[in-house]
Amino acid sequence: MTLKIIDNKRIEMTVDEYDMYKDICRAFDRPNFQGEELFKGHFETDKHGMITMITPPMNRQNSPIVHSFLLNIQNNQQLRVNRKIVETLVKEASDKIKALTEHAQELQNKLDEALKK
């Protein structure tokens, strides 16, 4: 993931998401109007580029496409964060299970040896 700048705010996006942002902007370009204007005042981010709030601007033109796009980016960001958490937890659990399995095997071997005597 990379941090991009939209409406003078850092936002964490994939390359594909940023390409979609540029496509949306170009679709709304008109003489004397840049599509990027539709994103102004539409969202807030934290210092990590995560969208923390989406609010349609009340005093300017907006588009449901832009709003939907921002909701999608926010959802994708949260899914990526949650995926990393789950992957970390699964790795930790796997390591602990492996250690417990090895310990159980050692105990089984000791028990087998003790029973042979």
With CA atoms as reference, report the closest residue to 4 among 53, 45, 34.
45
Residue 117 confidence (pLDDT) above 80 = no
Summarize pLDDT for 14-63 with one digit per residue, the tens: 999 999 999 999 999 999 999 999 999 999 999 999 999 999 888 887 89
Q: Is 34 left (phi over 0), alpha (psi -120 to 50) or beta?
A: beta
Whole-number pLDDT of residue 107: 93
Query: How would you class 73 by CB atoms within 10 Å of its CB: exposed for 0-12, middle for 13-18, buried for 19 or more?
Result: buried
Whole-number pLDDT of residue 68: 96
- Cα–Cα distance between 10 and 103 in angstroms, integer? 48
- Cα–Cα distance between 65 and 117 in angstroms, integer? 77
Whole-number pLDDT of residue 112: 87
Which of the four pLDDT bands, split at 50, 70 and 90, describes residue 12?
very high
* Alpha-helical runs (H) found in the chain: 15-28, 64-116
Residue 37, C-beta contacts closer than 8 angstroms, at least 6 positions apart: 60, 61
Summarize pLDDT for 68-95 with one digit per residue, the tens: 999 999 999 999 999 999 999 999 999 9
For the chain, give every domain's residue range: 2-116
Per-residue tokens: 11:
């936002």
Report phi then psi at 45, rounded to 5: -130, 160
